[in-house]
Structure 1
Amino acid sequence: MKEITAQELTEKVKAGEKLSIIDVREDEEVAQGKIPGAKHIPLGQIPERFKEIDKGQDHYMVCRSGGRSGKASSFLIEQGYDVTNVKGGMLDWEDDVEK
């Protein structure tokens, strides 16, 4: 599984790269703030909602610490998606968030 640090993802965001970031945390966690532009699909909904995700694009998966996003990444890789897990998740995210 491909991985990226929160710092590396921050650099991509600041460079203006067009990214697909998917936040798999629960609603109450996302309410505290998420990476600007991230799509929210809770981990438990990934099996029913994964077809909402564009298969022709790379995606960065994020959660609180990297565990749940790793599970989501493994599932999506099995479905043929190109995904990268964000190691350290939102605990390591030091840039702006949107609420």
Structure 2
Amino acid sequence: MSNWTIATIILWVLIIAYAGWELVQYFRRKKAATPLENEAFKKDMRRAQIIDVREKDTFNAGHILGARNIPYSQLKQRAGELRKDQPVYLYDDKKTFSYRAAILLKKQGYTDLYVLKNGYSGWDGKIKRKKTFN
């Protein structure tokens, strides 16, 4: 076999492995949390724990009114701050860290997990910004 044939085979194996990994992650995310549109999120947010998993500076720049900031980077240590008997609504800028957070919380025994479908960037509800004094 030529070097090109071996390289092509290796490349295809890597592509198939990556596609398989992405497929597994897709089903893990889907199993961990339910995605919610803005309207459904707004409707039930008063009875839920709203958690912004973005970093503190981003949270302070603007966040959903009523949300608490527990950055994804700290969630493993701070998960005990959340109640397991109430729904947990997660969001970030897109959805990446929200679903990772949901997977982490699922492993720790949380069951009622939801993710804002379009993230904070797609949010059309009330927000709060931290006032800065110059």
TM-score normalized with structure 1 length: 0.88
Moved segments of 4+, more than 3 Å: none
Q: Distance in 2 between matches of 1:5 and 1:78?
A: 24
* Higher helix residue share: 2
* Structure ID, larger Rg: 2
Gaps of 5+ in 2: 1-32, 130-134
Aligned ranges for residues 31-46 of structure 1 at < 5 Å? 31-46=60-75
Residues 26 and 86 of structure 1: is their aligned pair in 2 closer, same or farther, counting only changes over 3 Å? Answer: same
Match 1:65 to one of 94, 98, 107 = 94
Q: Distance in 2 between matches of 1:63 and 1:6?
A: 13
Root-mean-square deviation (Å):
1.3
Aligned ranges for residues 82-93 of structure 1 at < 5 Å? 82-93=112-123
Could you give the per-residue CA deviations for residues 14-58 of structure 1, whole angstroms, max 9, x where no partner exists? xxx422110000112111211111111000000000001011111
How many percent of aligned residue pairs carry the same amino acid? 29
Contact 1:22 1:62 in 2 (8 A): yes
TM-score normalized with structure 2 length: 0.66
* Higher strand residue share: 1
Higher relative CO (Cα under 8 Å, sequence separation at least 6) belongs to 1
Corresponding residue for 1:5? Answer: 37
The number of residues matched between the two structures is 96
